[in-house]
Amino acid sequence: MIKAKKKFGQNFLKDESIKKKIIQSMPNDDKLVVEIGPGLGDLTKELLCASKRVVAFEIDLELCGYLQKIFKTEIQSGQFQLICSDVLEVWKNTSLRDEEYHLIANLPYYVATNIILKALDDNKCRSILVMIQKEVAVKFSAKSGEKTFSALSILANTIAKSQILFDVGSSCFDPPPKVTSSVLKLEKFSDFLAKDLFESTHEVERFKAFLKIAFRQPRKLLIKNLQQNYQKETLTDLFGTLDIETKARPHQLKISDYHLLFKNLNK
Ligand code: SAM
């Protein structure tokens, strides 16, 4: 009997109907599926039944031994590849795979934000379908004007179409987590880098840094946050030209306003 380890964020999904709903929400193509943290293999089994090629990364060596046994046939046939290591170590400065893939996972909550940010950066990753803490899912999917609209929402919605598909109560897991979970879907735009906004991935990094400045103090006026790095006159002129209220708070702007501000301030 394998015991769940808190340090690896182990909450195993036990509810059959939720597993089915995740499978039904998957993109409908033949691309490779990458699963992070297969755990006891419950979701993996469903993915393999849906005849997907799956590569999974599992940090817990005890679970790895168990998975190698129960998926012996699928590993031998090549349908399933299990990589026993910390996915964030493998992901350093490189794509996770050489071919395009979809990320589908019930993520360990302690590294969920990091993993989603890595997947958004990874050009080989075409979509992300993940179960995470509801509070984090709300941040990634928030729309302009909502209180939870943040740098994460702008970044995610610049690169992908993001939406929360459904919530999942803690009783669906063993052991039950202390929080409600949500299934978040991020479908990447195919032409995002070509959209004349970012000419290189280096520029995406600069956009992230810019958003950090804009949301430094989220409840303050946006112009005040930006004044820490840009001249007041430049900002007042630019806000006027772009028809942006100088009294606006960071969460009140549209995503396209942020794109325009970034372009003009970084000319
Ligand atoms: N997929 C299983 C399920 O739905 O029941 C388990 C999900 S559990 C929330 C998270 C899984 O991620 C655990 O198996 C844990 O050991 C694994 N994990 C945690 N940190 C990891 C990391 N950095 N790299 C790879 N796997 C990790």
Q: Where does the chain have alpha helices with state H?
A: 16-24, 42-49, 61-70, 72-77, 87-90, 112-121, 134-141, 151-159, 201-214, 222-226, 232-241, 255-265
Interstrand relation of 160-168 and 173-174 (parallel, antiparallel or unpaired) = unpaired
**Nearest CA to 41 among 64, 61, 20, 16?**
64
Q: Which CATH number characterizes residue 224's domain? A: 1.10.8.100
Q: Same domain for 106 and 214?
A: no
Whether 177 and 223 map to the same domain: the answer is no
- pLDDT-based confidence at residue 198 (cuts at 50, 70, 90): confident
On whether both 106 and 50 belong to a single domain, the answer is yes
If one compares 74 and 267, the residue with the highest pLDDT of the two is 74
Q: How far is the CA of 58 from the centre of ligand 1 (A)?
A: 6
Which residues are near ligand 1 (CB < 6 Å)? 8-13, 36-40, 42-43, 57-60, 63, 86-88, 106, 108, 111
196 domain-assigned = no
pTM of this prediction?
A: 0.95
Last residue of a domain, one of 146, 162, 190: 190
Q: Are 168 and 224 part of one and the same domain?
A: no
Number of domains present in the structure of the chain: 2
Residue position matching structure tokens 């987590």:
177
* Span 185-210, average pLDDT: 80
pLDDT score of 1 = 84
| Whether residue 39 is found in the same domain as residue 151 | yes
pLDDT of residue 20: 96
Q: Whole domain around residue 140: which residue ranges?
A: 6-190
pLDDT band at 204 (very low <50, low <70, confident <90, very high): confident
Share the mean pLDDT of the chain. Answer: 94
- End position of a domain, from candidates 160, 190, 220: 190
Nearest residue (CA) to ligand 1, atom 23: 86
Given a cut of 80, whether residue 61 has pLDDT beyond it is: yes
Pairing of strands 181-188, 160-168: antiparallel
CA-proximal residue: ligand 1, atom 10 (nearest): 108
Atom of ligand 1 nearest to the CA of 12: 5
214 CA to middle of ligand 1, Å? 33
Torsion of CA 221, 222, 224, 230, to 10 degrees: -170
Q: Is residue 74 packed enough to be buried (19+ CB in 10 Å), middle (13-18) or exposed (0-12)?
A: middle
pLDDT tens profile 138-178:
999 999 999 999 999 999 999 999 999 999 999 999 999 99
Asked if residue 194 has pLDDT above 80, the reply is no
Percentage of the chain surpassing pLDDT 90?
A: 91
Task: Say if 71 falls within a structural domain.
Answer: yes
The ligand 1 atom at the shortest distance from the C-alpha of residue 173 is 5
Residue 35 CA, closest ligand 1 atom number: 1
- Do 89 and 60 share a domain, yes or no? yes
**25 with 129: CB under 8 angstroms?**
yes
Is residue 25 located within the same domain as residue 99? yes
Task: Indicate whether 246 and 146 sit together in one domain.
Answer: no
Residue 195 lies in a domain: no
